[in-house]
Amino acid sequence: MKEVPSSWLNDAEVLALRGPRNPVDPWLPYAYFVEDERTATGLIESVATVFLTNRECPLRCVMCDLWKNTLDATVPIGAIPAQVKFALSRLPSTKHAKLYNSGNFFDRRAVPPEDLPDFARCVEHFETVIVENHPRFCTTACGTFRSLLSGRLEIAMGLETIHTDSLRRLNKQMTVEDFFQAVDGLLSHDIDVRAFILLRLPGMSESEGIEWAVKSADAAFRRGVTTCTIIPVRGGNGAMDRLARQGQFQPPVLRSLETAFEECLRLNCAVNQRRVFVDLWDLIQISQCPFCFAARQQRLRDMNDSQLILPPVICPVCDNNSQD
């Protein structure tokens, strides 16, 4: 890895490099849709996915761009359940719900505790309810909320990487052990855990990005995480663009995401009910060849569904050459 400063950017620098937020309404979710996902049973089932409008996360992670659809103040009591009801009334019926809030579900300043019983009633018919949270906010409230649900609770958390120096430099304000202690606590309350894994952090080459993504997923599975999602690190949030100009960051190429996914599936292929996905959002940003992009994107989508390594895409233009 390249030599990098002991800390890439602090809170003040991250904030100063940001652009404006998008306009959002505290009483409305900023996005909602149904997506298909392979469940722990091995079936491809529909998931009602709702992006809640919420107070911005108080942590200033260098790579984060979720602040773009947040507020600078806590939403009124009743707003979060109202958002859920609004979205679910407009979506077809599903067995599973993914309710992400661009931050931490168990941050009292994000989701008022007074709203949790009403929120639980809104989702009581789902077999699985997935929310997102930072390990620092994994308190006894997680178990209490779990007891309010009739279905299973899954909490998605950003492990990002087990490369200790890179994790510290992300300004995420946690250690690898903090993450795994949170996992242990959640599992003890019969709560499933999903981990987000980043591909090619600042200072990493293509090969190092793949290596540490695979190592991080392996470590997460060994500790009891049931699902890992690999997310290619992108620019566009201000802080990452600064690092790119300084020569400390370059997004991964699409072929690296394919390779990392294949290697993680090899880790996982013999273990039923454990899944690894790749994030397909705006994937074209890391594509280097317009001729084979659609085929590569479809292959990744099919691998998400099948959890199998499918035959590679051979492109007559880019010839599937790897780059570093």
Ranking 60-69, 244-253, 269-278 by mean pLDDT, the lowest is: 269-278
Is-contact 48 36, C-beta < 8 A? no
What the block records as the tokens of 220 is: 């997460």
What the block records as the tokens of 163 is: 């490369």
Give me the chain's average pLDDT, please. Answer: 94
| pLDDT exceeds 90 at position 169 | yes
Q: What are phi and psi of 36, to 5 degrees?
A: -95, 145
Q: What is the pLDDT of residue 125?
A: 96
| pLDDT exceeds 70 at position 322 | no
What's the rounded Cα separation, in Å, for the pair 145 and 124?
Answer: 12
Average pLDDT over residues 56-61: 95
List pLDDT tens digits, range 88-145. 999 999 999 999 999 999 999 999 999 999 999 999 999 999 999 999 999 999 999 9
What are the residues whose beta carbons fall under 8 Å from the beta carbon of 133, sequence distance 6 or more? 104, 105, 106, 107, 142, 155, 156, 157
What's the rounded Cα separation, in Å, for the pair 203 and 20?
Answer: 27
Task: Please give the radius of gyration of the chain, using alpha carbons only, rounded to the nearest integer.
Answer: 19
| pLDDT exceeds 90 at position 323 | no
3-state percent breakdown (helix, strand, coil) of the chain, nearest 5: 35, 15, 45
List pLDDT tens digits, range 205-225. 999 999 999 999 999 999 999
What's the rounded Cα separation, in Å, for the pair 63 and 225?
Answer: 23
| pLDDT exceeds 80 at position 270 | no
Is-contact 207 266, C-beta < 8 A? no
What's the rounded Cα separation, in Å, for the pair 308 and 63?
Answer: 30
Is-contact 128 160, C-beta < 8 A? no
Average pLDDT over residues 144-150: 97
Structural domains present in the chain: 11-305 (3.20.20.70)
Q: What is the pLDDT of residue 269?
A: 58
Q: What is the pLDDT of residue 273?
A: 73
